[in-house]
Structures are given as structure tokens and as C-alpha cells.
Amino acid sequence: MAKRRAEVDVSHCVSCGACENVCPREAVKVVRGCHAQVDAEKCIGCGLCAKACPSGAATVKALEGES
């Protein structure tokens, strides 16, 4: 199980799809053209989405209880 997981701040997401395009597990999708959403079951916390995000809406966080 991954110790980190991507999150998207929907208030900053510009729905560009950059995160969706770089995700190796297809864990990030732009929902109805409104904002990106992360599928927690697929996300491995690699951080590629956060690096690709031009608005800084995608971040990778450590899961609670993990160090």
C-alpha cells in the first residue's frame, strides 16, 4: 500500500488535464470538465501529477499514520 497519495484542491484546479495525462496508473481524471479527481485505490503517490500541474492544485500528501 502506498504511503503517499495525491490530492487535488478543486478551488485551484483549472481542468487542463495535465495530471491525467502523466499519471502512470490512470488514477487521476478530470470530472465533467470541472476539476481533477484522484482515485485513491489506484494512486501510488508517485508525484508526477503534482509536478505537471500548472496551477499547483495537485499535491502529494503522506497518509495519516505513516511517516
Q: Read off the pLDDT of residues 1-33 as tens digits, 9 standing for 90 and up.
A: 679 999 999 999 999 999 999 999 999 999 999
For the chain, what percent of residues have pLDDT higher than 70?
Answer: 96
Domain 4-62 has CATH 3.30.70.20: yes
**Secondary structure of the chain in HEC code, one letter for each residue:** CCCEEEEECCCCCCCCCHHHHHCCCCCEEEECCCEEEECCCCCCCCCHHHHHCCCCCEEEEECCCCC
Look up the pTM and report it.
0.89
**With bands split at pLDDT 50, 70 and 90, how would you rate the model's confidence at 46?**
very high
